[in-house]
Amino acid sequence: MVSVDEIKMGTHGVMVKKGLHHGVFLPQVAEETGWSKEEFLSHLCSGKAGLPPDAWKNKDTEIYIFTVEKFEEEK
């Protein structure tokens, strides 16, 4: 688990988990939407995890970060 301060937008994917609810955004979501970190986390909680938008502020909500390797087919 990490603190919100450790999240690097556009570099880290994020997973939130509270109880049986969880949701994941890949790093590309931050790049594509232009959301602030707070907006990103709120949309992740409400849109993906089925939690209230401010659930990421709760000390019982677990936050994990990860990086990805992106592959694209040559055109």
pLDDT tens-digit series, residues 24-38: 999 999 999 999 999
Q: Which residue has tokens 């055109």? A: 75
| pLDDT for res 52 | 98
Half-sphere exposure of 60 (CA within 13 A, CB side): 6
| pLDDT for res 75 | 84
- What global pTM score does this model have? 0.90
The pLDDT of 57-73, averaged and rounded, is 94
**Distance separating alpha carbons of residues 5 and 63, to the nearest angstrom:** 11
* Domain 4-66 grouped into CATH 3.30.565.10: no
| pLDDT for res 1 | 86
Q: In Å, what is the CA distance from 52 to each residue of 31, 35, 41, 49, 57? A: 23, 18, 11, 9, 10
* All structural domains of the chain with their residue ranges: 4-66
Residue 44 has pLDDT above 90, yes or no: yes
- Could you tell me where the beta strands, DSSP code E, fall in the chain? 13-18, 21-25, 62-66
